[in-house]
Amino acid sequence: MDNRAIVVLGSQWGDEGKGKLVDLLAQDVDLCCRCQGGNNAGHTISVNGKKFDFHILPSGLVNPVCENVIGNGVVIHLPGFFDEIEKTLAKGLDPTKRTFVSDRAHLVFDFHQTSDALRESELAVKDFKLALGTTRKGIGPTYSSKAARSGIRVHHLMNDDDTTFANRVRDCLEGEKKRYGGFDYDLDKELERYKEFRERLRPYVVDSVLYVNRALAEGKKVLVEGANAIMLDLDFGTYPYVTSSNTGIGGVCTGLGLPPNKVGKTYGVVKAYTTRVGAGPFPTEQLNEIGTHLQEVGFEWGVTTGRRRRCGWFDAVVLQYSQMINGYDSLNITKLDVLDQLEEIKIGVEYLIDGKKIDSFPSDLTVLSKVEVRYESFPGWKTDISKCREYSELPENARKYVERIEELVGAPVEWIGVGPDRDAMIRKSK
């Protein structure tokens, strides 16, 4: 049986609205998986006027029969995990019997979060522009521990005796203290807390590699939910202003233990304009009334941090680069309705340096800071499209905008979001 996983990935700098497409697709799948990142991600789903904010839990939970897996490539902060479980229960949704955690996932400790904050402060003291703008959730330091082979995985918590586990945590903590100085940290209190977490976590723990691959072998429908986005990828993003994991198609394979031939249809989720949170270059950013309009009409505040997002025009150079790496089979354009009241809408179509077009998105941020963006302009549609449910119902100018994005990116648009609710979605093609 040639059964393959469906994949949803962010195609810009994150916050594209991936959770909504995952929620829609998850209504017809058996298993929804997170493959990388941690609780630095934030996916908001609005169902019947009720909002669910997921940070570490997969968005497939909104489907009451969908099982959900947090894969080996994810780093997990157990206090945050259990807090999110409780908040989800309080909203009438029970994730406890349908959520599973990989025994190979690495643990984020509070001292990783302390290190994260100290690192940001250290950079900011040198030069405010050097601060990366992380969420300070300890994600980067945990992946650093993992790469240094001093990290602590879920199976260590489950299987080690108390002394062995304590020594692992102590060694990891000492490494952080050597780097950032002797910050205060009550290790004994932390170890006691993790003894309690061990038993609370036990029912959730599985061998996720076997679990996911067996599901595919049994013909079950599997959906993979990417976190963050390709322009924050550790290798392909605007380094060093990136996250600490591989956020593209490669992270799906390494973060779940899936072979490439088990990766099927891949959706790229793309906002109808561009946003990013935190520091780093942003060629089409609009530090003017357009940027303010997009922020306010689009409610552009981060789900995880509450920070105001930077906003700008759609950047086709970014999307062409994103498409080249991830190979989207189709696109989901989100928040098209945010553009409803604009007289003129622009798409950045080329980067120029000294008047000459450059071939692709540059790796060097010094080069990127010098680019001039060439734009194409489109007349706005000045019409409320939030009630449209068929592609033909969209104004002609809106359709022209969508079709130009298809041409520039080289991938068909399948879904178009025209509002926050689950049903505010148009299916253009299959």
How far, in Å, CA of 281 to CA of 335, rounded?
A: 23
C-alpha to C-alpha distance for 136 and 66, rounded to whole angstroms: 31
CB 161 within 8 A of CB 96: no
Angle at 254 between CA 110 and CA 134, to 5 degrees: 35
The answer to whether the beta carbons of residues 264 and 216 sit under 8 Å apart is no
Element (H, E) at 32: strand 31-34
What beta strand segments (E) does 193-343 contain? 205-206, 222-225, 263-271, 274-276, 310-312, 314-315, 330-334
Residue 157 contacts residue 198 (beta carbons within 8 Å) = yes
Q: Which amino acid is at 269?
A: V
Nearest to 257 by CA among 71, 75, 74, 98: 71
Does residue 208 contact residue 72 with C-beta atoms inside 8 Å? yes
Give the other-Cβ count within 10 Å of 126's Cβ.
Answer: 10
Q: Are 238 and 283 in contact (CB under 8 A)?
A: no
Token pair of 295 as six digits = 């922020």
Q: How far does CA 369 lie from the centroid of its chain?
A: 25
Q: Among 15, 23, 116, 337, which one carries the catalytic annotation?
A: 15
Query: Catalytic residue at 55?
Result: no
**Of the residues 2, 23, 28, 43, which is catalytic?**
43
CB 338 within 8 A of CB 371: no
What sections of 327-417 are H helices per DSSP? 365-368, 396-409
DSSP 419: S
Residue 15 annotated as catalytic:
yes
* Cβ neighbours of 361 (radius 10 Å): 22
Residues carrying an active site annotation: 15, 43
